[in-house]
Amino acid sequence: MITRIPIRVECYSGGRADEQPRLLCFGDERLEVEEVIDRWYQGQPDPTAGHAEYFKLRVARDRVLIVMHDLSCNAWFLVAQFDS
């Protein structure tokens, strides 16, 4: 089971809404996204399971975070973080 920490995300919206995270806010931290390392989409055959977009991001101090955008409820979550 993945721990999901609710976060607030400000996004770049080009061709569609919430296209790419630019700023992450959780706790007392405001982290600018320095690089989108990877992104992927998860869909389930079961329509009740929902769909999500995942982003692997590099932020300040070379930290790497994985955030999830739950498309079924339009909510963002921090699901993993790694320090270099």
Q: Using one digit for the tens of pLDDT, what is the confidence trace for 15-65?
A: 777 789 999 998 898 999 999 999 999 887 566 667 899 999 999 989 999
By residue range, what is the domain housing residue 36?
5-82
Residue 51 and residue 46: Cα distance in Å, rounded? 10
Indicate whether this model's pTM tops 0.95: no
The number of distinct structural domains making up the chain is: 1
Give the SS3 label for residue 6: strand
Residue 73 and residue 84: Cα distance in Å, rounded? 32
Most confident stretch, 43-47, 65-69, 80-84? 65-69
Question: What end-to-end distance do the CA atoms of the chain give, in Å?
Answer: 24
